[in-house]
Structure 1
Amino acid sequence: MLTRRFTGFTAALAGAALLCTALTAQAREYSVSTVLSNAFPWGQAADKWAELVKERSDGRITLRVYPNSQLVNGDQTREFSAMRQGLIDMAVGSTINWSPQVPQLNLFSLPFLMPDYDAVDAVTGGKAGEMVFDAIESRGVIPLAWGENGFRELSNSKLPINEPEDLDGLKIRVVGSPLFHDTFTALGANPTQMSWADAKPALTTGAVDGQENPLSVFDVARIDQVGQKYLTLWHYMNDPLIFAVNRNVWQQFPEKDRELLRQAAEDAGAWEIEKSRGERDDRLAAIKERGVEVVELDDAQHQAFVDATRSVYNTWTPKIGEALVETARQAAENR
């Protein structure tokens, strides 16, 4: 009798353990950091990833998106470090914001390296993209897929920008990257580093004259309402997004779930890139309708900006890696 009772008790414990394991597998939630909300394509990419993962795992895996850099108290440049340390499980992040910790990501901030979408795709989808992913993985973060924040364009409150000389002395808000400082200094501007939270008030008061951002940010954030009357489409850099996971978190997933997460990230990234690029013309038309004067450079005008920033390559190529820069350059030229 005692043996039967003990056996029954053991079976009950085993059943409870199995139930606990099943419930845990069904209820796992992971944090996903983004800088922008789902009012922007960037935030929509993170939401799409979460949606696909939940759907394809039948609710076993939940990705909870935290927009506006909530998990790093608004300091977007700390996002990669926080993910690397395990304070954040996953992120859809910017190459610009992660470049302080991964120098190779400065590749995408080199001025005028990628003139069009075909060049962007050739770089991210080829050997250069693989080299960048290897650099990220070597720092304890697993990159899964590419997204896109878009080409960054230039706006200001003073005058149409048609040539480098037009930038002389203009105070331009830039992100917290030394490469941006060097680029705008080479163009004769006065670059001022500040967070995006501080940028709009500074533009409103005239503390800075201009800024650079993708059209989606200019449009959704209504930058035209803070005195930015002139917009130059110069395509000086493209900011790819990267879907990534903390290495320790990644290793906890069985192989089947790793493939699920990776494929969902790739699908979400492809969806977001297509959506973002497809909306560009409508965004530009809306911006023009609001009275913004838009300058589109011809080939000679564009080349003048390329020539004016060529010195930036001499400074930054050794820091990024000569092999990586050359691989990317060839991919962009041979697109």
Structure 2
Amino acid sequence: MTLSRRLTHFTVALAGAALLSTSLSAQARELSVSTVLSDAFPWGQAAERWAELVEERSEGRITLRVYPNSQLVSGDQTREFSAMRSGLIDLAVGSTINWSPQVPELNLFSLPFFIPDESAVDAVTGGEAGKMVFDAIESRGVVPLAWGENGFRQLSNSRGPISAPEDLDGLRIRVVGSPLFQDTFSALGADPTQMSWTDAQPALTTGAVDGQENPLSVFDVARIDQVGQEYLTLWNYMNDPLIFAANERVWASLDEADREMLRETAIEAGEWEIAMTREEEPERLADIEARGVNVTELSDEQHQAFVDATQAVHEKWVPRIGEAIVEAAQASMDAR
């Protein structure tokens, strides 16, 4: 064989190897999924369910690797959206609260005492306001795919029962890194203290903070009553929908069939997680009470006192969120 023919065979072999490598990479792809909580919680279970469905529907061609506990952002949950937008994270099941610093429209769900119950949540996320929120997310380089649910956030503390705004006077309450949360608890007379959940648990144990607010699922699974939180008030002051989403460049790199599959599985996982979260609430509350936690349920009059005390927060934040979105949300709730 002449030298030129040997070189030709070698070039063809290299080209074949490159094509094989390309074909294999197209057949098998791993995408990262960020979550704040592990699969001990419904939030983490939502991400794992999504991964299971994608593995099944793609026949193993696409793998979603779930990174819980905000691992991909060194534990700083408020950096998750920015990291996904920049491409450090491929996919996420994220919180409207944690993403709100970058997407102000997401503060819609954190307006105190605005969304009263689960049917109202569904009316908002499934209506025009939900579409407007998804448009706002997509305009910032992230593609929203589906809704999930972290639930209504309840208030706990180590000092005593809370049934009126004045009961919060001077209490140090751990809050997430959102100015809206700072304003809400300041309006109620509390001393809001921003810290990550990693830092919050030891702070509750030592008494550096008196209380915190979280959904019942977090209170239950994390055994927050074991760090001195003996008093729990059910006040449904805000809801935290979860959002399944993708980095826009990752999304664009997928073919149409895979994009449709990823969206469909996200919707399915979200619906599964929402139903599970809601079905488990009564049993969780019963378990919490059985552990000796003092639970306060507000009367209509008591609830209205908190609504009145936070009215100025609405006046400040509605323009920041967007009056059109707030009005659309209110219209959807009124039309239930």
TM score, norm. by length of structure 1: 0.96
- What is the aligned partner in structure 2 of residue 220 from structure 1? 221
Instruction: Give secondary structure in 1 for the equivalent of 2:92.
Output: strand
- What is the aligned partner in structure 2 of residue 170 from structure 1? 171
- What is the aligned partner in structure 2 of residue 102 from structure 1? 103
Q: Which amino acid aligns with 2:165?
A: P
Deviation at 1:177, TM superposition (A): 0.5
**Mapped partners of 1:137, 1:63: distance in 2:** 21
Deviation at 1:249, TM superposition (A): 0.6
Deviation at 1:12, TM superposition (A): 4.8
Instruction: Give secondary structure in 1 for the equivalent of 2:242.
Output: strand
- What is the aligned partner in structure 1 of residue 49 from structure 2? 48
Deviation at 1:16, TM superposition (A): 3.3
Instruction: Give secondary structure in 2 for the equivalent of 1:319.
Output: helix
**Mapped partners of 1:195, 1:9: distance in 2:** 57
Q: Which amino acid aligns with 1:126?
A: G
Deviation at 1:18, TM superposition (A): 3.8
Instruction: Give secondary structure in 2 for the equivalent of 1:211.
Output: strand
- Count how many residue pairs are aligned between Structure 1 and Structure 2: 335
**Mapped partners of 1:263, 1:64: distance in 2:** 18
Deviation at 1:21, TM superposition (A): 2.4
Deviation at 1:32, TM superposition (A): 0.6
Q: Which amino acid aligns with 2:262?
A: L
Instruction: Give secondary structure in 2 for the equivalent of 1:294.
Output: strand
Deviation at 1:254, TM superposition (A): 0.3
Identity of aligned pairs, percent? Answer: 76
- What is the aligned partner in structure 2 of residue 296 from structure 1? 297
Gaps in structure 2 of 5+ consecutive residues: none
**Mapped partners of 1:199, 1:87: distance in 2:** 26
Q: Which amino acid aligns with 1:63?
A: L
Deviation at 1:171, TM superposition (A): 1.0
Q: Is the 8 A contact 1:25 1:61 kept in 2?
A: no
1:16-55 correspondence to structure 2 within 5 Å = 16-55=17-56
Q: Does 1:61 align with 2:62?
A: yes
**Mapped partners of 1:329, 1:68: distance in 2:** 34
Deviation at 1:260, TM superposition (A): 0.4
Q: Does 1:273 align with 2:293?
A: no
Deviation at 1:209, TM superposition (A): 0.8
1:239-254 correspondence to structure 2 within 5 Å = 239-254=240-255
- What is the aligned partner in structure 1 of residue 82 from structure 2? 81
**Mapped partners of 1:18, 1:85: distance in 2:** 29
Q: Does 1:179 align with 2:180?
A: yes
Gaps in structure 1 of 5+ consecutive residues: none
TM score, norm. by length of structure 2: 0.96
- What is the aligned partner in structure 2 of residue 136 from structure 1? 137
**Mapped partners of 1:93, 1:23: distance in 2:** 31
RMSD between aligned residues? 1.6
Q: Is the 8 A contact 1:113 1:332 kept in 2?
A: no
**Mapped partners of 1:201, 1:278: distance in 2:** 30
Deviation at 1:165, TM superposition (A): 1.3
**Mapped partners of 2:99, 2:48: distance in 1:** 20
Deviation at 1:327, TM superposition (A): 0.9
Deviation at 1:15, TM superposition (A): 4.3
Deviation at 1:17, TM superposition (A): 3.8
Instruction: For residues 227-254 of structure 1, give each alpha carbon's deviation from its aligned partner in whole angstroms, at most 9, with x where no partner exists.
Output: 1111000000000000010000100000
Q: Which amino acid aligns with 1:198?
A: D
Q: Does 1:125 align with 2:126?
A: yes
Q: Which amino acid aligns with 1:235?
A: N
Deviation at 1:6, TM superposition (A): 8.5
Deviation at 1:11, TM superposition (A): 6.2
Point out the more displaced range, 197-206 or 151-160: 197-206
**Mapped partners of 2:163, 2:277: distance in 1:** 26
- What is the aligned partner in structure 2 of residue 310 from structure 1? 311
Instruction: For residues 149-201 of structure 1, give each alpha carbon's deviation from its aligned partner in whole angstroms, at most 9, with x where no partner exists.
Output: 00000001111111111111111111110100100111111111111111111
